[in-house]
């Protein structure tokens, strides 16, 4: 798989941005009954009335919100990492049958001038958090402990 740095890096940074975004939305859904109608996965999902009432019993404080946000982000990052191991060809989906041949991510504008990214995506994924942090808009919370 030949990918260019100019196309891989924005994707990795955007994955980090979306992990933060959806972790924050998840926290909003836990602590705000009005946001819970936005649960759309699985497609037939959503919360039961009993589940929603249980969430209403949780007292919101900033430390609890931060902890839950980190747990959601970690779970999301795990899914992304696993997908990238399959794309990189170092893992096979558990449900892949004997006909599985792998898949490729295609760089539509690769040229030798732009340079080969060279690294495995899954190896680069977690490290791409730090460049993301440098360009992240200011916020009142953060996922890392720095």
Q: Where are the domains of the chain?
A: 5-32+60-135
Closest CA relative to residue 139, chosen from 66, 64, 32, 30: 66
- pLDDT per residue as tens digits for the range 60-89: 899 999 999 999 999 999 999 999 999 999
- pLDDT per residue as tens digits for the range 25-56: 999 999 998 888 888 887 777 888 999 999 99
Q: What is the pLDDT of residue 55?
A: 94
* Cβ neighbours for 121, distance < 8 A, ≥ 6 positions apart: 3, 8, 12, 84, 87, 88, 105
- Categorise residue 32: left if φ over 0, alpha if ψ from -120 to 50, beta otherwise: beta
Q: What is the pLDDT of residue 22?
A: 96
Which residue(s) pair with 4 in the sheet?
A: 116
Q: What is the pLDDT of residue 35?
A: 84
Q: What average pLDDT is seen over the chain?
A: 87
* Tokens linked to 24: 């924050």
Q: What is the dihedral of CA 114, 120, 122, 128, to 10 degrees?
A: -40
Q: What is the pLDDT of residue 3?
A: 81
Give the DSSP H or E segment for 21.
Answer: helix 5-31
Instruction: Tell whether pTM > 0.95.
Output: no
- Looking at per-residue confidence, does 126 or 57 come out higher? 57
């Amino acid at each position: 798989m030949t990918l260019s740095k100019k196309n891989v890096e924005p994707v990795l940074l955007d994955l980090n941005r979306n992990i933060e975004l959806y972790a924050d939305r998840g926290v909003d859904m836990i602590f705000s009954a009005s946001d819970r109608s936005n649960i759309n996965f699985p497609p037939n999902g959503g919360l039961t009335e009993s589940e929603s009432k249980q969430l209403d019993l949780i007292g919101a404080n900033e430390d609890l919100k931060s902890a839950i946000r980190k747990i959601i982000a970690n779970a999301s990052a795990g899914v992304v990492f696993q997908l990238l191991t399959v794309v990189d060809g170092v893992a096979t989906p558990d449900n892949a049958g004997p006909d599985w041949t792998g898949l490729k991510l295609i760089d539509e504008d690769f040229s030798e001038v732009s340079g080969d990214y060279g690294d495995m995506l899954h190896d680069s994924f977690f490290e791409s958090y730090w460049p993301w942090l440098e360009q992240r808009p200011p916020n009142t919370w953060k996922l890392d402990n720095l």
